[in-house]
Amino acid sequence: MNLKFKSILQKNTEKVIPGTVFSKMIIEMDETTVMDHELNLSAMDILKDSAWIINFFLTFLSVGGIAILFLGLGYLTLGKENSPEQWKTFTNLLIMASTIIFIFTWVLLSVKGAIANKKRLTVINQRGNGNWRIVDEADWEKFQKLMDIAKKSREKEIEDFMKKKL
């Protein structure tokens, strides 16, 4: 799997509002730090990542909690009034459905997490530590448009504030 993505340095800066004693935190992207990256991943690289362990527990807690909720609701509706055979059928179906959902969710989250970890490690190895925003090549134009909109919005906000003040 060949992945192409870009990294950009994200800065959290405190900007003083002109003409006041107030300031606010702004997230800015340093456009001079944009760098292209390419990463070749094999299935073994994804399987060896630690995301599988973390996502196992997260998925187990979420799917297990929902399964227990359905088990309780099933007991309140089916377990009290119906025969033991119907209750056993319900629990078997719930266990099978929960297992399938658990495996699907675990694999999906772990693969996405492993790819994100490998991208982050690649950027850190090539560029060093920092607050890097990683954006896929396909999403870069949309990301740039959002950065421009945010920049214009901040400028307009300052202009509006200065007009109100005067």
The beta-strand segments (E) located in the chain are: 2-16, 23-40, 132-136
Res 166 pLDDT > 80: no
Predicted structure pTM score: 0.78
Task: Copy the structure tokens of residue 161.
Answer: 């504030």
Res 151 pLDDT > 70: yes
Read off the pLDDT of residues 40-76 as tens digits, 9 standing for 90 and up: 999 999 999 999 999 999 999 999 999 999 998 888 8
Read off the pLDDT of residues 97-123 as tens digits, 9 standing for 90 and up: 999 999 999 999 999 999 999 999 999
Burial tier of 110 (Cβ tally within 10 Å: 0-12, 13-18, 19+): buried
Q: How far is CA 7 from the centre of its chain?
A: 16
Res 25 pLDDT > 90: no
Q: Pick the closest to residue 68 from 89, 39, 95 (CA basis).
A: 95
* Beta-carbon count within 10 A of 11 CB: 13
